[in-house]
């Protein structure tokens, strides 16, 4: 099937095989991510390459392969399989809840030999696919109001979010809601409805703070509001992260000199807080370059969506950009002290197989739409 | 089957272009967010970058002190009196541990079994202090977790920013165990310290003194004092030891060294990864590219200077042994230089106890002991000098030129002064005595007469020439002045009641026998005796001979210093000395019992009334030790070409001849042991060039009873 798809693409003559800007940006991000991880996961007490780095190389290799494969699949096939993918994801989420091992008080992983799969990561792409398919088929030229959204929300978002929430994984639940929200916005949610949603969310936030959030989540919100109240406890992560970023100054300390991370003053230095390590080593100049790379990637995605030949392609791209966007914004927001710290990874940088694979497969989908689904 | 053509199963509703406005809006949002994030980064990295760089640096670069050893103190023969030895304390920093007391059995087993199998560098960086105490108790000998925890709580309450010493001066085995498990003891560190050690225990207690931890309220003053010195304002830090008494205090600036420092790079567990080195040597920093670190370098420590004393340990030891259980003081010094050979007090104390916090019970025991072990009696103890004062009166009356040493005074046992009758200690009287006889018998009547003849102001003037009434200038332990009363003094003393301030003849009578208002320290009496022995030169008593740098170079030497000259004819000195010789050497002399066959020496006994016995009505009380007289004996030897003076005071020893003189005699026997042995074998007498028949025989008394 892949061979025929490639063949079809070449027959057109006008169509390209490779979306070079997207590929260059993606691979650049992967390389930067690997280099940063090598330095962040290392330690003066450690000989050779850190284990996290070698594993990440494997994940990235696998991910790049999957990206090419995903690029070879025509968008039409994604559209056909969208609901099926969501179904399988829901099933996996259920299986995790039933038989998944408990790690750190949460059931999020399905062990697969040496690796383990995190179905909630898959859920991000599946939800995007399913939502794209649904909204591609429904057009409301006057815009969507809340009542119109009731059905797709109940059918697509609600079951996914509920199963993930049961994890318990409030972070990913909110993440899924955000991605879904961005898609609904792109589809054409009326401004009035949007305003109402924002109002309801604004009113619900304090209630959620008191009733829904667990103690540790409340602590994180508190730590954001006043990190210096508990500098050795809940505020520690945020404060040390700030020291790391700030100490990079304009030009950075140079590769391998992230004292905050390598000497372990900054916890989570190679996962959620890897940006701090990058900022410490590369300084403001490096951060500007990295953020430009990230936003180039997202703008590439939106460019593909803009030129998509059909609604599904456009919505799929918008959805994937939304996933990427939420990752970047929530992670950097937390690291830079603008949002509470959540366990959201930074795409292509943070250590973690599921995240890398998800983002690279997503890139593959963008690529697919770019070479096959644009006019 | 799959291609750009429409798939009939999929409904297509609306055109994709419908989405473009919102996609465009999304792109605008992206750009706005990008700008926001870049703005935030600008604030963190550029605006506040320097601040955060400093804070991050403080995380991993720590200044470590190289404690400088305090200088040692050595006796005249180079024997160690005070030294430092390395000791290791296990300390925990209160702000690096969690509170709480998880003293659970599981933790106990954990601590015994050792660390769990994991990458060492992923261990938790903070644990609770309870767990820490359990782990430490396993590694230390005779340690109880509850006890350690209690110690920690106490220390933290006192100062929560300072490390608490959980185990001081740990053994080598303990040290090894703790260091091996350091990674599992976050917040715990081992501090090397120099601990002051006094190998002779209480032998030199008042002379050497002691160290105490510098008080928090002293620090600002010390900072101010050394601000512009080479030591810098940070010479003293909280927790440092400082000389507070004795030579440790007086020579503090010499003895104290300058701590050095270097920088280490540590990880979050406090493990050292590298350290800075002196400028001429490469360091082994881990992060070589961080230039701040490279430039910090190493400041080597400078050890304190050593003190070499004039005091001899053997003489000091003998003096303390001879005083035994008595309370008193022995001073021995060289006649022609003022170099002190022994300055011992009993009872003493072990200066080591002041190194650490002293317990209230211990403090109470020391401070409330009726024998005052904390008082340096030789320098600070003031006593009526009693009959030792008579030499001064003799000098005064000879100097007047109106009495010669041959002048006879009839002692009938008492003399009436004003309306009061003043008795001689021998109520039967001594009959006719000349100066020599009066000294030999310590006849009070002779000196009443002599004193009244020249008047108190003349006596006081001579006493002053002999150094009385002012500190000798030995230079430590806030030496007492004693009291050398005269008419002017009394006027000032009773300023508010002028009628009482008139000097009366009775006052003179009391003063000339060293009673009444008159007070002197043993050191003053020794100094005065030396002046009689050497012909009137008053030297500043010296205890420190030289200060030696750590390289062995003498940086300061104390030369004998003349502080006064007594204006008296040599023949008059000779007369007094002859009387003092008679005290020891002639039959009937008050210290005749302590005569040495092969060493001629001269001395004077004294018996100082503690209270006027008349005022103690209760006979039982009168017999109690607290009301017994103080015993004095001061002597110089040999009689001819004197070398040393020895002064002994025994509190409540009753009689100078029985309580004090034997101590002095034994001191002299020890000091002259070698010449004595030689003299004995040669049948010669040291310090006595008179014809043998006269000197070795019992001298004839000049006075007839």
- pLDDT tens per residue, range A65-81: 999 999 999 999 999 99
- Is the backbone of residue A252 left (phi > 0), alpha (psi -120 to 50) or beta? left
Q: Where are the domains of chain A?
A: 84-345
Mutate to test the interface with B, among A4, A194, A233, A243 (most CBs of B within 10 A): A243
Answer whether A76 sits within 8 Å of B7, measured CB to CB: yes
Omega before A168 within 30 of 0, i.e. cis: yes
pLDDT (0 to 100) of residue B539: 96
Distance of residue B127 Cα from the nearest chain A Cα, in angstroms: 12
Answer whether B59 sits within 8 Å of A253, measured CB to CB: no
Average pLDDT over residues B435-452: 94
Comparing alpha-carbon positions, the chain A residue that sits nearest to B61 is A259
Confidence category of residue A58, pLDDT binned at 50, 70, 90: very high
Block residue for tokens 């998800």: A358
Answer whether B9 sits within 8 Å of A80, measured CB to CB: yes
Comparing alpha-carbon positions, the chain A residue that sits nearest to B271 is A263
Q: Residue A74: its chain B contacts at CB < 8 A?
A: 2-3
Calpha distance B695→B679 (Å, rounded): 14
Q: Does position B482 have pLDDT exceeding 50, yes or no?
A: yes
Answer whether B269 sits within 8 Å of A264, measured CB to CB: yes
B286 touches chain A (CB under 8 A): yes
pLDDT (0 to 100) of residue B124: 62
Average pLDDT over residues A96-111: 78
Confidence category of residue B28, pLDDT binned at 50, 70, 90: very high
Contact of A122 with A356, CB cutoff 8 Å: no
Report pLDDT digits (tens) over B384-414.
Answer: 999 999 999 999 999 999 999 999 999 999 9
pLDDT (0 to 100) of residue A307: 92
Comparing alpha-carbon positions, the chain A residue that sits nearest to B288 is A257
Report pLDDT digits (tens) over A305-350.
Answer: 999 988 999 999 999 999 999 999 999 999 999 988 888 899 999 9
Q: Among candidates A334, A302, A316, which has minimal Cα distance to A125?
A: A316
Q: Where are the domains of chain B?
A: 94-186, 313-351+377-611+623-696
Calpha distance B355→B339 (Å, rounded): 29
Distance of residue B94 Cα from the nearest chain A Cα, in angstroms: 12
Average pLDDT over residues B616-638: 77
Residues 109-168 of B with CB under 8 A from A: 120-122, 125-126
pLDDT (0 to 100) of residue A117: 81
Calculated CA dihedral for residues B123, B129, B134, B138, nearest 10 degrees: 70
Answer whether B267 sits within 8 Å of A43, measured CB to CB: yes
Per-position DSSP letters for B598-648, written without gaps between them: TB--EEEEEEE-SS-GGG---HHHHHSGGGSPEEEEEEEESSSS--EEEEE
Calpha distance B672→B685 (Å, rounded): 12
B619 touches chain A (CB under 8 A): no
- Residue B624 structure tokens: 């109690």
**C-beta neighbour count of B137 within 10 angstroms:** 22
pLDDT (0 to 100) of residue B281: 56
Residues 6+ apart with CB under 8 A from B39: none
Confidence category of residue A11, pLDDT binned at 50, 70, 90: very low
Q: Does position B25 have pLDDT exceeding 80, yes or no?
A: yes
A188 touches chain B (CB under 8 A): yes
Answer whether B273 sits within 8 Å of A46, measured CB to CB: no
Per-position DSSP letters for A290-331, written without gaps between them: HHHHHHHHHHHHHHHHHTBSSHHHHHHHHHHHHHHHHHHHHH
The larger pLDDT score, comparing residue B447 to residue B263, is at B447
Residues 90-109 of B with CB under 8 A from A: 95
Burial state string for B487-522 with b = 16 or more CB within 10 A and e = fewer than 16: bebbeeeeeeeeeebebebebbbbbbbbbbebbbbb
Mutate to test the interface with B, among A13, A45, A273 (most CBs of B within 10 A): A45
Answer whether A246 sits within 8 Å of B38, measured CB to CB: no
The larger pLDDT score, comparing residue A235 to residue B308, is at B308
pLDDT (0 to 100) of residue B170: 86
DSSP classification of residue B113: H
Distance of residue A4 Cα from the nearest chain B Cα, in angstroms: 9
Tell me which residue in B13, B33, B271 faces A137 most closely, judged by beta carbons: B13
Mean pLDDT across chain A: 88
ipTM of the complex: 0.93
B7 touches chain A (CB under 8 A): yes
Q: How far is CA A38 from CA A57, A286, A327, B268, in A?
A: 10, 17, 21, 19
Block residue for tokens 């909110």: A174
Answer whether B26 sits within 8 Å of A185, measured CB to CB: yes
Distance of residue A312 Cα from the nearest chain B Cα, in angstroms: 8
B27 touches chain A (CB under 8 A): yes
Mutate to test the interface with B, among A75, A144, A263 (most CBs of B within 10 A): A263
Contact of B49 with A345, CB cutoff 8 Å: no
For B256-373, where are the E strands, in sequence order?
A: 260-266, 272-275, 298-299, 306-309, 328-334, 340-346
Beta bridge partner(s), residue B302:
B258
Average pLDDT over residues A278-300: 96
Answer whether A260 sits within 8 Å of B56, measured CB to CB: yes
Contact of A150 with A205, CB cutoff 8 Å: no
Q: How far is CA B171 from CA A120, A142, B165, B178, B584, in A?
A: 56, 85, 15, 11, 56
Calpha distance A322→B23 (Å, rounded): 11
Q: What percent of chain B has pLDDT over 70?
A: 87
Q: Does position A44 have pLDDT exceeding 80, yes or no?
A: no
Answer whether A264 sits within 8 Å of B45, measured CB to CB: no
Confidence category of residue A236, pLDDT binned at 50, 70, 90: confident
Answer whether B2 sits within 8 Å of A287, measured CB to CB: no
Residues 152-181 of A with CB under 8 A from B: none
**C-beta neighbour count of B224 within 10 angstroms:** 10
- Start-to-end CA distance of chain A, whole Å, equals 22
Average pLDDT over residues B407-423: 91
Q: Does position B231 have pLDDT exceeding 50, yes or no?
A: yes
Confidence category of residue B284, pLDDT binned at 50, 70, 90: low
Q: Among candidates A229, A249, A254, which has minimal Cα distance to A239?
A: A229
Cα A13–A19–A25 angle (5° rounding)? 165
Q: Residue B53: its chain A contacts at CB < 8 A?
A: 246-247, 249
Calpha distance B492→B488 (Å, rounded): 6
DSSP classification of residue B688: -
Tell me which residue in A5, A139, A263 faces B60 most closely, judged by beta carbons: A263
Size of interface A-B (CB pairs under 8 A): 192
Answer whether B26 sits within 8 Å of A76, measured CB to CB: no
pLDDT (0 to 100) of residue B701: 39
pLDDT (0 to 100) of residue B458: 94
Tell me which residue in B18, B41, B57 faces A336 most closely, judged by beta carbons: B41
For B229-316, where are the E strands, in sequence order?
A: 241-245, 260-266, 272-275, 298-299, 306-309
A305 touches chain B (CB under 8 A): yes
Average pLDDT over residues A149-154: 92
Calpha distance B86→B67 (Å, rounded): 10
Q: How far is CA B412 from CA B160, B409, B416, in A?
A: 76, 9, 11
Give CB contacts under 8 A, 24+ apart, made by B607-614.
B607/B386, B607/B387, B607/B425, B607/B631, B607/B632, B607/B654, B607/B655, B607/B656, B608/B383, B608/B384, B608/B385, B608/B386, B608/B514, B608/B515, B608/B632, B609/B384, B609/B386, B609/B515, B610/B652
Q: What percent of chain A has pLDDT over 70?
A: 94
Answer whether B20 sits within 8 Å of A306, measured CB to CB: yes
Q: Residue B120: its chain A contacts at CB < 8 A?
A: 45
pLDDT (0 to 100) of residue A20: 92
Answer whether A314 sits within 8 Å of B120, measured CB to CB: no
Calpha distance B371→B45 (Å, rounded): 70
Contact of B628 with B652, CB cutoff 8 Å: yes
Report pLDDT digits (tens) over B233-259.
Answer: 888 887 788 999 999 999 999 999 998
Answer whether B37 sits within 8 Å of A245, measured CB to CB: no
B48 touches chain A (CB under 8 A): yes
Please give the backbone phi and psi of residue B159, each rounded to the nearest 5 degrees, phi first: -160, 105
Residues 91-130 of A with CB under 8 A from B: none
Tell me which residue in B23, B95, B121 faces A305 most closely, judged by beta carbons: B23
Distance of residue B9 Cα from the nearest chain A Cα, in angstroms: 9
Answer whether B40 sits within 8 Å of A336, measured CB to CB: yes
For B479-568, where are the E strands, in sequence order?
A: 537-539, 544-548, 554-557, 562-565
B39 touches chain A (CB under 8 A): no
CATH superfamily placement of domain B313-351+377-611+623-696? DD-peptidase/beta-lactamase superfamily (3.40.710.10)
Beta-strand pair B260-266/A110-112: unpaired
């Amino acid at each position: 099937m892949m061979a025929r798809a490639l063949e079809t693409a070449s027959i057109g003559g006008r169509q390209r095989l490779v979306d070079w800007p997207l590929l260059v940006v993606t691979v650049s991000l992967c390389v930067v991510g690997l280099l940063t991880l090598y330095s962040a996961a290392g330690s003066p007490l450690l000989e050779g390459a850190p284990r996290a780095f070698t594993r990440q190389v494997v994940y990235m290799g696998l991910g790049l392969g999957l990206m090419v494969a995903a690029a070879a699949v025509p968008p039409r096939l994604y559209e056909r399989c969208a609901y099926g993918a969501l179904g399988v994801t829901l099933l996996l989420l259920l299986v995790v809840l039933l038989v998944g091992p408990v790690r750190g008080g949460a059931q999020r992983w399905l062990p697969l030999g040496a690796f383990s799969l995190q179905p909630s990561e898959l859920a991000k792409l599946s939800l995007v696919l399913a939502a794209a398919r649904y909204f591609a088929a429904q057009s409301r030229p006057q815009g969507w109001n809340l009542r119109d959204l009731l059905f797709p929300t109940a059918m697509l978002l609600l079951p996914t979010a509920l199963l993930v929430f049961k994890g318990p994984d409030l972070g990913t639940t909110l993440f899924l809601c955000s991605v879904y929200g961005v898609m609904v916005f792109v589809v054409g949610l009326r401004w009035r409805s949007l305003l109402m949603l924002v109002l309801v969310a604004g009113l619900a936030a304090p209630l959620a703070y008191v009733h829904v959030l667990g103690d540790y989540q409340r602590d994180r919100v508190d730590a954001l509001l006043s990190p210096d109240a508990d500098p050795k406890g809940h505020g520690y992560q945020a404060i040390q992260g700030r020291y790391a970023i700030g100490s990079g100054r304009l030009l950075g300390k140079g590769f391998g000199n992230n004292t905050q991370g390598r000497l372990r003053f900054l916890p989570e230095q190679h996962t959620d807080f890897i940006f701090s390590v990058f900022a410490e080593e590369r300084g403001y100049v490096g951060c500007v370059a990295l953020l430009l790379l990230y936003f180039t990637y997202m703008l590439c995605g939106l460019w593909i969506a803009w030129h998509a030949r059909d609604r599904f392609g456009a919505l799929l791209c918008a959805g994937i950009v939304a996933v990427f966007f939420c990752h970047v914004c929530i992670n950097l927001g937390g690291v830079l002290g603008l949002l509470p710290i959540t366990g959201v990874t930074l795409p292509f940088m943070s250590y973690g197989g599921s995240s890398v694979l998800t983002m690279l497969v997503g890139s593959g989908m963008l690529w697919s739409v770019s070479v096959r689904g644009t006019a | 089957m799959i291609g750009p053509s429409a798939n009939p199963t999929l409904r297509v509703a609306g055109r994709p272009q419908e989405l473009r406005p919102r996609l465009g809006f999304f792109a605008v949002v992206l750009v706005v967010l990008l700008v926001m994030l870049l703005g935030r980064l600008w604030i963190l990295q550029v605006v506040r970058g320097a601040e955060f760089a400093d804070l991050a640096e403080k995380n991993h670069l720590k200044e470590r002190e190289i404690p400088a050893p305090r200088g040692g103190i050595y006796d005249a023969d180079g024997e160690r009196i005070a030294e430092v030895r390395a000791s290791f304390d296990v300390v925990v920093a209160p702000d690096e541990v969690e509170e709480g007391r998880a003293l659970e059995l599981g933790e106990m087993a954990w601590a015994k079994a050792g660390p769990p199998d994991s990458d060492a560098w992923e261990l938790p960086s903070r644990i609770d202090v309870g767990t820490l105490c359990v782990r430490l108790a396993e590694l230390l000998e005779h340690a109880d977790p509850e006890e350690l925890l209690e110690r920690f709580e106490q220390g933290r309450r006192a100062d929560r920013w300072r490390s608490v010493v959980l185990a001081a001066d740990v053994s080598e085995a303990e040290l090894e165990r703790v260091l091996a498990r350091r990674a599992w003891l976050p917040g715990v560190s081992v501090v090397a310290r120099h601990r002051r050690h006094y190998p002779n225990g209480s032998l030199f207690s008042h002379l050497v003194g002691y160290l105490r931890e510098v008080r928090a309220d002293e620090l600002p003053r010390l900072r101010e004092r050394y601000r512009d010195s080479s030591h810098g304002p940070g010479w003293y830090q909280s927790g440092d030891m400082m000389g507070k008494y004795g030579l440790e205090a007086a020579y503090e600036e010499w003895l104290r060294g300058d701590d050095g420092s270097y920088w280490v790079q540590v990880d979050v567990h406090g493990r050292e990864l590298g350290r800075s080195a002196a400028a001429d040597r490469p360091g082994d920093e881990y992060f070589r590219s961080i230039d701040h670190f490279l430039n910090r370098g190493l400041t080597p420590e400078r050890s304190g200077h050593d003190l070499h004393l004039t005091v001899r340990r053997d003489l000091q030891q003998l003096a303390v042994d001879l005083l035994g259980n008595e309370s008193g003081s022995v001073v021995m010094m060289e006649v022609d230089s003022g170099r002190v050979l022994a300055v011992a007090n009993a009872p003493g104390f072990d200066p080591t106890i002041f190194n650490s916090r002293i317990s209230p019970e211990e403090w109470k025991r020391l401070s409330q002991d009726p024998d005052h072990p904390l008082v340096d009696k030789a320098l600070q103890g003031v006593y009526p000098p009693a009959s030792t004062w008579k030499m001064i009166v003799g000098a005064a009356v000879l100097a007047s030129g109106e009495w010669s040493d041959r002048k006879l005074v009839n002692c009938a046992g008492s003399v009436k002064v004003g309306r009061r009758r003043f008795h001689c200690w021998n109520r039967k009287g001594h009959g006719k005595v000349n100066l020599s006889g009066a000294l030999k018998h310590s006849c009070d009547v002779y000196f009443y007469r002599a004193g009244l003849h020249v008047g108190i102001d003349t006596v006081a003037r001579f006493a002053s020439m002999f150094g009385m009434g002012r500190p000798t200038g030995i230079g430590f332990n806030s030496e007492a002045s004693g009291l050398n009363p005269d008419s002017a003094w009394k006027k000032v003393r009773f300023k508010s009641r002028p009628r009482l301030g008139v000097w009366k003849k009775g006052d003179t009578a009391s003063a000339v026998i060293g009673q009444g208002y008159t007070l002197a320290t043993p050191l003053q009496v020794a100094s005065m005796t030396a002046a009689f022995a050497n012909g009137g030169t008053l030297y500043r008593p010296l205890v420190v001979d030289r200060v030696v740098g750590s390289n062995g170079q003498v940086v300061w030497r104390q030369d004998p210093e003349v502080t006064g000259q007594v204006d008296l004819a040599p023949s008059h000195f000779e007369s007094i000395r002859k009387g003092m010789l008679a005290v020891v050497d002639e039959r009937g002399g008050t210290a005749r019992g302590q005569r040495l066959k092969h060493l001629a020496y001269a001395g004077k006994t004294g018996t100082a009334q503690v209270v006027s016995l008349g005022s103690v009505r209760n006979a039982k009380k009168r017999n109690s030790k607290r009301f017994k007289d103080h015993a004095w004996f001061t002597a110089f030897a040999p009689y001819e070409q004197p070398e040393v003076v020895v002064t002994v005071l025994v509190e409540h020893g009753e009689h100078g001849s029985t309580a004090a003189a034997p101590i002095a005699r034994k001191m002299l026997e020890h000091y002259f042991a070698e010449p004595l042995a030689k003299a004995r074998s040669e049948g010669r007498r040291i310090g006595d060039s008179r014809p043998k028949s006269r000197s070795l025989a019992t001298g004839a008394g000049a006075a007839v009873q």
